[in-house]
A and B are shown apart, each in its own frame.
Chain A
Amino acid sequence: MPNHLNDLRPDFTKRKISCGSIQAYRFDATLADELAARHITKREAVDLLEDMLIVREFEEMIVKLRSGAYPACAGFEYRGPTHVSIGQEACSVGACSGIAAEDYITSTHRGHGDSVAKGCVAIRQMNAAALRARVPEATGTPEEIYEAALEDHIFRTAAELFGKEDGYCKGRGGSMHIADFSVGHLGANAIVGGGVPIATGAAWACRYLRNGRVAVSFAGDGAYSNGVVLESLNWAAQHQFTNMLAKAHSYGLPMIFAIQNNHYGMTGRADNEVAGVEFLARRAAGFDDRNMHAEVVNGMDVLAVREAMQRAAALCREGRGPCLLELSTYRYYGHSLSDPRNEYRTKDEEAAWKEVDPIDHYTREIVAARALTRKGVEALVEKVQARNARAAARAAKALEPKPADVLKYLYSDLTSAVVPAEFQKVEIVREKPVITRTNGQLTYRDALKEALLEEMLRDNRVVVYGEDVAEYGGAFKVTKGLLEAFGRERVFNSPISEAAICSTAVGSAMLGLRPVIELMYMDFALMSGDAIGNQAAKWHYMSGAKAEIAMVIRASVGGGKGYGGQHSQTLESVFAHIPGLYVVYPATPRDAKGLLKTAIRDNNPILFVESQLLYMTKGEVPEDPEFTIPLGLAEVKREGKDLSFIVWGPAMQDALKAADELAKDGVEAEVVDLRSLIPLDMETVLRSVRKTGKVVVGSQCVTTGSFMGEIIANIQHDAFDALDAPIQRVGARDTIAPQSHVLESAFLPNVGDFVAAARKIL
């Protein structure tokens, strides 16, 4: 069966395109109705109230802490963000109670409610063993252990906000980055919209893993103007997940976009200022022929939210996702406590929304439905207040992280050395690409392909996607043949959405997959600045090492081909500056294979840089599928005693030629190939410097501010006395890559530049 070939014919028939319709506020049942219809049990009904009370009490604690008026934490100074969600409790609690405990959420800067609710709902569904695992010290009746687990949840949440070692993320994340992977909470996100593509990636992983789970992204109205959110909507709705390309596994992404529309993005009014639609739910129509089953829901009614969420989750589990729910709600306080609100809205507006307060409204319902008496409600309020206060007091007194541990959790030490049995089974859908050696040699391109092929054969968690990587095999043909071998589930074309490509990889990595994604040109990595720099790089650390972000971003450098300023950049220095990322750049076919394999097996997010100038270079490459090269190990590519070239990328090849040139004068130049910038092997560099005393550092990076300066700084710091001459730097000129061949030659460093730099100090 050949690959799918499109056969699209022109069709300009006159017609009207229907955008369908979107339902709003369809839920009109009371709690009494729901109880009668057995849509909810009494216990669940009370739990909903309790969870909303816990959220509100928690948020009010933040408000009070700001003025020192929370007696349980007297004397404690809270110094984090104050994006409280008071008024929005029905959204958090209703939504989390409408999905299963093991489903996933991502949340926002205003995410305390989501975080508290997800944990509470999960705990309420846990069996005795799971509860005991959460609070191993607790003793007593099952009810008491359950109580202890709830209190522990509040404690860990508060401790995280307070920056304590006992927090969910060991105090590394805090209010805006809190996550609890054990209950499917994949993280709040301080980047507006940042969590949406992560949830989308998680949903894709659920689809791939066929685990029957659903991912929900909570995000505000403001986020729905953000590019990566719009990219996510498109991503989730791709036809290829459901049409003939999906073959037997026609299954829409189990993804629910939950818009927490509180009608303000900071102060920007969604309804009549910074958006062009009255209802954001309309966005769904722009991305999905089925409008993502979009609905507008009364977000002040916990039952309405819960009911809508249950239906959406059910649709997702049937493979009919994605879904979109716009939850109309209101934030009583300002964007943060430093926002007095009076500059952009009226007091009357606020009063009107408080009239429909979710807790007051639901309290009336619960009393009317006789699920609780007034007294019962009062007792519940007191219980919640007391429990929250105990947890908060403990959190305030909990241990601070040790200053010496400031770097702890930056990188993961784990690898996929052992592939779980369930992922060792790999299906070849048609045929493996044949990679042939001539005289034992492979091109750099085929070496990369061989690495991908071997790693995909070894571990079913390795998936490959990016623009045009499927039938076409990528713009540079590195992935050619992988679709035929592994099918579209593991090798698929992505929309031209670099931000979403990288951020969805973060989400699927959070679920244990090992995505290898392709950025056609490294220049496009700047489109994914947030995904790479704020999400991929940071989640391992910000989660206190709860998340492993095992992903490889392959980025191809186009410099040297006359493609001009936006297709020629060598940007590894930019990314080497961001802690949490590894940055690797092989210069030979052998290194390309060995390093890519190691990168795929490593649990850290890795920017793997390739050069289009090198794709066709040939060299010996071991056939052994267990051949790997450790990251952070430089290699002496040529030995010499008179001068050291410290180089990486295509500059390494130039340095080798320069060394040949210098050899004619009897100069023995050594060439050290860094191979990876992060981790950095200074030991090998210093050994060479101590031997030769003369150093030329070179790369194709634009010189100013590049990683070459970092190498030089390290050399002078650690081997000053070994230096016999000022260190020379050979990089690209400090300008924009020009299209003109003449100018580009002047722009990029070449063999002559290396020779000249060397001669200057010989």
Chain B
Amino acid sequence: MSQPILMPKLGQSDEVAPIVKWRKRIGEAVNKGDILFEIETEKAVLEVESFYAGNLIKIVVPAGQAAPVNAIVAFLGKPGEKAPDVAAAPASAAATASPGVEHNSGGRHGGRPSRVENKDSALPSGGSGSVPTVAAPLAASAVPSKPGRLLISPRARALANTSCIDPSGIAGSGPDGRIVEKDVRAHLDARGYDKLRISPAAKALAAQQKVDILAVTGTGEGGRIMTEDIQRAMAERPKPLTLMRQTIARRLTQSVVTSPHFYVTVSVDMGDLLKLRQEAKTRGSDYSVTDFILEACIMTLQEVPEVNSSTDGQSVRWHASVHLGLATSRPDGLVVPVIRDAQKLTLVELHQAAKALAARARDGKLLPEEMSGSTFTVSNMGMLNVENFTAIINPGESAILAVSSTLPTPVARDGNVVVRPIMKITLASDHRLVDGAMAARFVNAIKTKLEDVSLWTRSI
């Protein structure tokens, strides 16, 4: 009896998740605890372990496709065993709503058996009760504004395909404005298709990759289109945003639109603290500058709870605990792991917690619950050689602190110009909750803490 593998439930909001990679091949042995596949959630790519041992006998949802939580994505079984005939579940809400397709099996509606009920008999007894039948590729749900279906005759489409051109811009002269063969031919003539020169390899690649060769500028001899030209065109083509980028886009846009941001910057002289850190290092305690900045923030947030708050526009909520978000960049985007109850941690603990989270974030192994619930966020670009920047508030919070690089800077000291390691920090605040004076107090309180080494000598 084969064992169905279901799409796990991952966080609060994810109902559908795309499988980005299968880590086991069909036929491969799987031990309990082996990583079977990777899925992408809004916040990270996660590895899914197997609860069962067996052979991977069937992949229902291949890499690149999405499936709803609890849908069957694969089967384990004995080597050579035949897997049940189950189609992949639809990933998009639109598919769920399509008439005649009933996803919540069990009842008959209006006496008309649904396709799902028909399929149910094919389910293994251990399987989920609800396995819808329509597979939807990720792209379908990922590209939000799908253009209306192009009205084009099969023959015209075939001609466009063999000519390696995109017919979508052609004006159709057929019934209802359908593009017919003659329109494609006219388009080709008008665009000088006849004179187009293209290498056979480039044409084959263009055909395979559906690149419109009329939109490609040839760089070969006499304007001949070469493989590289097609490759360039391919690279320039719009691709669907990853789920992570879509999330970033949505949340940050929401933040900018709903929270009136304003910015307050101060310069922090890091000279003494850097020296202190260096001394600690020689004694074997390896703190990072970030550790001090975070600790200073945590302390200040407790002093100024208005900044550790959130609003829905009607009411304000002060948070008793500091759940500190650390904006962390990854090659494919941005994640914000959260140090929970940061006010309870010693500097050592804070250091360890931040380090561990950063490592997990880099490796894409954060769990959903490790990326939610922050009350204040620090975005640190200190290592990236920036003089100053502003950050966008994480939705649900009242402010975010942008930490720039520490740079040797000429400053006035006691009437003289001296060069000091100066770090600019900029607080972006939601004006609905935080006013200029409070923001100024907040950043200066941090500045004071970072410049007052006596504060730190005790704790390190």
Is A194's beta carbon under 8 Å from chain B?
Answer: no
What string of 1s and 0s marks CB contacts (under 8 Å) between B73-114 and chain A?
000000000000000000000000000000000000000000
Contact in complex: B175, A722 (CB < 8 Å)? no
B181: A residues at CB distance < 8 A: 693, 724
A722: B residues at CB distance < 8 A: 154-155, 158
Q: In the complex, what distance in Å separates the CA atom of A761 from the CA atom of B180? A: 10
B155: A residues at CB distance < 8 A: 693, 721-724
A130: B residues at CB distance < 8 A: none
Contact in complex: B180, A725 (CB < 8 Å)? yes
Q: In the complex, what distance in Å separates the CA atom of A720 from the CA atom of B161? A: 14
Q: CB within 8 Å of A: which of B156-203?
A: 156-158, 174-175, 178, 180-182
Q: In the complex, what distance in Å separates the CA atom of A725 from the CA atom of B180? A: 7
What string of 1s and 0s marks CB contacts (under 8 Å) between A187-215 and chain B?
00000000000000000000000000000
B153: A residues at CB distance < 8 A: 693, 723-725
How many pairs of residues, A versus B, come closer than 8 Å at their CB atoms? 31
B182: A residues at CB distance < 8 A: 724
Q: CB within 8 Å of A: which of B138-165?
A: 153-158
Tell me the smallest distance from the CB of B176 to a CB of chain A, in Å: 10
What string of 1s and 0s marks CB contacts (under 8 Å) between A738-762 and chain B?
0000000000000000000000110
What string of 1s and 0s marks CB contacts (under 8 Å) between A312-333 and chain B?
0000000000000000000000
Contact in complex: A760, B154 (CB < 8 Å)? no
Contact in complex: A721, B158 (CB < 8 Å)? yes
Tell me the smallest distance from the CB of A670 to a CB of chain B, in Å: 15
Q: In the complex, what distance in Å separates the CA atom of A83 from the CA atom of B180? A: 62
B174: A residues at CB distance < 8 A: 724-725, 761
Q: Known: A693-B181, A725-B180. Contact between A720 and B175, CB under 8 A?
A: no
A723: B residues at CB distance < 8 A: 153-155
Q: In the complex, what distance in Å separates the CA atom of A498 from the CA atom of B444? A: 111
Tell me the smallest distance from the CB of A495 to a CB of chain B, in Å: 53
A726: B residues at CB distance < 8 A: 175
The chain A residue sitting closest to B184, CB to CB, is A724
The chain B residue sitting closest to A716, CB to CB, is B154
Q: CB within 8 Å of B: which of A668-711?
A: 693
Q: CB within 8 Å of B: which of A712-742?
A: 720-726
Q: Known: A693-B153, A693-B155. Contact between A724 and B175, CB under 8 A?
A: no
Q: In the complex, what distance in Å separates the CA atom of A724 from the CA atom of B156? A: 6
Q: In the complex, what distance in Å separates the CA atom of A760 from the CA atom of B174? A: 9
Q: Out of A721, A724, A760, which one reaches B180, CB within 8 Å?
A: A724
Q: In the complex, what distance in Å separates the CA atom of A725 from the CA atom of B151? A: 11
B interface residue count range (under 10 / 10 to 19 / 20 to 34 / 35 or more): 10 to 19
What string of 1s and 0s marks CB contacts (under 8 Å) between A54-87 and chain B?
0000000000000000000000000000000000
Q: CB within 8 Å of A: which of B117-141?
A: none
The chain A residue sitting closest to B157, CB to CB, is A721
A693: B residues at CB distance < 8 A: 153, 155, 181
Q: In the complex, what distance in Å separates the CA atom of A722 from the CA atom of B154? A: 6
Tell me the smallest distance from the CB of B439 to a CB of chain A, in Å: 65
Tell me the smallest distance from the CB of A556 to a CB of chain B, in Å: 39
Tell me the smallest distance from the CB of A170 to a CB of chain B, in Å: 33
Q: In the complex, what distance in Å separates the CA atom of A721 from the CA atom of B162? A: 11
A721: B residues at CB distance < 8 A: 154-155, 157-158
Most buried by B among A693, A720, A760: A693
The chain B residue sitting closest to A690, CB to CB, is B155
A720: B residues at CB distance < 8 A: 154
Q: In the complex, what distance in Å separates the CA atom of A725 from the CA atom of B154? A: 8
B180: A residues at CB distance < 8 A: 724-725
Q: In the complex, what distance in Å separates the CA atom of A749 from the CA atom of B180? A: 27
Q: In the complex, what distance in Å separates the CA atom of A723 from the CA atom of B158? A: 9
Q: In the complex, what distance in Å separates the CA atom of A721 from the CA atom of B180? A: 12
Tell me the smallest distance from the CB of A269 to a CB of chain B, in Å: 43
The chain A residue sitting closest to B156, CB to CB, is A724
Q: In the complex, what distance in Å separates the CA atom of A722 from the CA atom of B181? A: 10
The chain B residue sitting closest to A725, CB to CB, is B153
B175: A residues at CB distance < 8 A: 725-726, 760-761
Tell me the smallest distance from the CB of A728 to a CB of chain B, in Å: 11
Q: In the complex, what distance in Å separates the CA atom of A722 from the CA atom of B159? A: 9
A761: B residues at CB distance < 8 A: 174-175
The chain B residue sitting closest to A693, CB to CB, is B155
Tell me the smallest distance from the CB of B184 to a CB of chain A, in Å: 9
The chain A residue sitting closest to B183, CB to CB, is A724
Tell me the smallest distance from the CB of A722 to a CB of chain B, in Å: 5
Tell me the smallest distance from the CB of A528 to a CB of chain B, in Å: 42
B158: A residues at CB distance < 8 A: 721-722
Q: In the complex, what distance in Å separates the CA atom of A721 from the CA atom of B161? A: 10
Tell me the smallest distance from the CB of B370 to a CB of chain A, in Å: 52
Q: In the complex, what distance in Å separates the CA atom of A636 from the CA atom of B416? A: 103
B154: A residues at CB distance < 8 A: 720-724
Q: In the complex, what distance in Å separates the CA atom of A761 from the CA atom of B174? A: 7
Tell me the smallest distance from the CB of B160 to a CB of chain A, in Å: 11
Q: In the complex, what distance in Å separates the CA atom of A725 from the CA atom of B183? A: 12
Q: In the complex, what distance in Å separates the CA atom of A721 from the CA atom of B175? A: 18
What string of 1s and 0s marks CB contacts (under 8 Å) between B350-361 and chain A?
000000000000
Q: In the complex, what distance in Å separates the CA atom of A722 from the CA atom of B174? A: 16
The chain B residue sitting closest to A724, CB to CB, is B155
Q: In the complex, what distance in Å separates the CA atom of A605 from the CA atom of B178? A: 46
Tell me the smallest distance from the CB of B283 to a CB of chain A, in Å: 77
Q: In the complex, what distance in Å separates the CA atom of A465 from the CA atom of B178? A: 56
Most buried by B among A722, A723, A724, A725: A724
B178: A residues at CB distance < 8 A: 725
Q: In the complex, what distance in Å separates the CA atom of A722 from the CA atom of B157? A: 9
Tell me the smallest distance from the CB of A321 to a CB of chain B, in Å: 61
Q: In the complex, what distance in Å separates the CA atom of A723 from the CA atom of B154? A: 5
Tell me the smallest distance from the CB of B62 to a CB of chain A, in Å: 27
Tell me the smallest distance from the CB of B156 to a CB of chain A, in Å: 6
Tell me the smallest distance from the CB of B165 to a CB of chain A, in Å: 16
Q: In the complex, what distance in Å separates the CA atom of A723 from the CA atom of B156? A: 8
Q: In the complex, what distance in Å separates the CA atom of A720 from the CA atom of B153? A: 9
What string of 1s and 0s marks CB contacts (under 8 Å) between B286-321 and chain A?
000000000000000000000000000000000000
Q: In the complex, what distance in Å separates the CA atom of A291 from the CA atom of B153? A: 72
Tell me the smallest distance from the CB of B47 to a CB of chain A, in Å: 43
Tell me the smallest distance from the CB of B297 to a CB of chain A, in Å: 64
Tell me the smallest distance from the CB of B179 to a CB of chain A, in Å: 10
A724: B residues at CB distance < 8 A: 153-156, 174, 180-182
A725: B residues at CB distance < 8 A: 153, 174-175, 178, 180
The chain B residue sitting closest to A760, CB to CB, is B175
The chain A residue sitting closest to B178, CB to CB, is A725
Q: In the complex, what distance in Å separates the CA atom of A721 from the CA atom of B153? A: 8
Tell me the smallest distance from the CB of A405 to a CB of chain B, in Å: 27
4 closest A-B pairs by beta carbon, nearest first, are A724-B155, A721-B158, A693-B155, A724-B153
Q: Enumerate chain A interface residues (CB-CB to B < 8 A).
A: 693, 720-726, 760-761
17 residue pairs from A and B, CB less than 8 Å apart: A693-B153, A721-B154, A722-B154, A722-B158, A723-B153, A723-B154, A723-B155, A724-B153, A724-B155, A724-B156, A724-B174, A724-B181, A725-B174, A725-B175, A725-B178, A761-B174, A761-B175
Q: Enumerate chain B interface residues (CB-CB to A < 8 A).
A: 153-158, 174-175, 178, 180-182
Other than the known A721-B157, A724-B182, A761-B175, what 8 A-B pairs have Cβ atoms closer than 8 Å? A722-B158, A723-B155, A724-B153, A724-B174, A725-B153, A725-B175, A725-B178, A725-B180
